[in-house]
């Protein structure tokens, strides 16, 4: 091949590379812009849903848990009588560590007031109630998203339906929940459920942590955070019997409902917040997929 032919071929090849690079760049930009258009259309829908859920659902869960714990604490005379007895004080004095002392209180509390299984059962009841709203809101969100996105994709002569979009988005959300389930296991706590129901709302709610370490094994973390300081206070009162011990025990238990409700509110708020992150991520991923399907490289 002579030099002139080689240079001519090289110039042609270089031109094709430049043209190809320009084409690919335009396609990448078009995909990015279309993805942003879909995400921008989705943002008000997701924001409105998130605001409503965080405003209403944690407060409802707080009140349901408050009423439940307040109800079980109305009948605590057996616990008060045992904790205030001289025999209990003697047994407390024989325990050398705070953990052993709190374990003694916990055994009496479970026998006379409420068990961890009963609290977790109530958590599940509330989770099912809250999850019905979460799943209903998600279905409505998918329907509204489909209507918005359908306007954007009409020029490509395709349609987006609520069912089709929900079938794409929900598995993505479930993947996020499964990852959280795996990451939530540690030496000291685990999610309340080791398996995941089909409903994403219920799955997200039941990721709340449960303790694994003694003496609190099996108790939900939010309840332990309330009960531990109460028990620490009662340990001191049992040791120092000069104070009105019966009043101290009764007073602390009368406040348990409000405090458990507040901690449960925080826990539910965290679970719903995580669900929103997974839903937002699923919508963004679906927007990218939609752009890739409609704007082809070739």
Axis-axis angle for helices 256-294, 162-183 (nearest 10): 130
Tell me the pLDDT tens digit for each residue of 194-213: 777 778 998 999 999 999 98
From the list 181, 183, 180, the residue with the least C-alpha distance to 281 is 180
pTM: 0.85
Peptide bond into 55 cis (omega under 30): no
Alpha helices in the chain (DSSP H): 3-72, 77-83, 86-94, 98-112, 116-153, 162-183, 200-205, 221-239, 245-254, 256-294
Say what the pLDDT of residue 70 is: 94
Say what the pLDDT of residue 296 is: 66
What phi, psi does 210 have (nearest 5°)?
Answer: -120, 140
**Encoding tokens for residue 61?**
């869960």
From the list 221, 55, 197, 61, the residue with the least C-alpha distance to 127 is 61
Tell me the pLDDT tens digit for each residue of 128-156: 999 999 999 999 999 999 998 887 766 66
Q: Are 284 and 47 in contact (CB under 8 A)?
A: no
């Amino acid at each position: 091949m002579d030099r002139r032919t080689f240079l001519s071929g090289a110039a042609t090849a270089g031109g094709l590379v430049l043209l190809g690079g320009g084409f690919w760049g335009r396609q990448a930009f078009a995909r990015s812009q279309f993805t942003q258009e879909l995400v921008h259309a989705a943002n008000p829908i997701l924001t409105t849903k998130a605001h409503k859920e965080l405003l209403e659902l944690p407060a409802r869960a707080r009140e349901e848990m408050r009423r439940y714990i307040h109800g079980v604490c109305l009948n605590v005379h057996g616990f008060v009588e045992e904790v205030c007895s001289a025999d209990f004080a003697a047994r407390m004095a024989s325990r050398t560590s705070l953990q052993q002392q709190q374990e003694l209180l916990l055994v009496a509390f479970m026998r006379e007031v409420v068990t961890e299984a009963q609290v977790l059962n109530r958590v599940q009841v509330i989770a099912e109630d809250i999850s019905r709203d979460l799943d209903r809101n998600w279905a409505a969100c998918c329907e509204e998203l489909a209507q918005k996105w359908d306007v954007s994709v009409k020029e490509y002569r395709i349609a987006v339906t609520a069912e089709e979009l929900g079938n794409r988005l929900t598995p993505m959300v479930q993947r996020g929940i499964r990852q959280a389930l795996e990451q939530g296991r540690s030496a000291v706590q685990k999610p309340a459920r080791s398996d995941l129901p089909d409903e994403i709302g219920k799955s997200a709610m039941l990721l709340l942590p449960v303790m694994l370490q003694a003496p609190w094994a099996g108790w939900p973390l939010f309840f332990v955070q309330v009960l531990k300081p109460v028990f620490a206070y009662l340990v001191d009162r049992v040791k120092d019997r000069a104070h009105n011990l019966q009043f101290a025990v009764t007073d602390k238990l009368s406040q348990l409902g409000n405090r458990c409700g507040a901690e449960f509110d925080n826990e539910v708020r965290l679970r719903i917040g995580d669900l929103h992150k997974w839903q937002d991520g699923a919508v963004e991923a679906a927007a990218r997929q939609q752009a890739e399907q409609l704007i082809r490289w070739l």
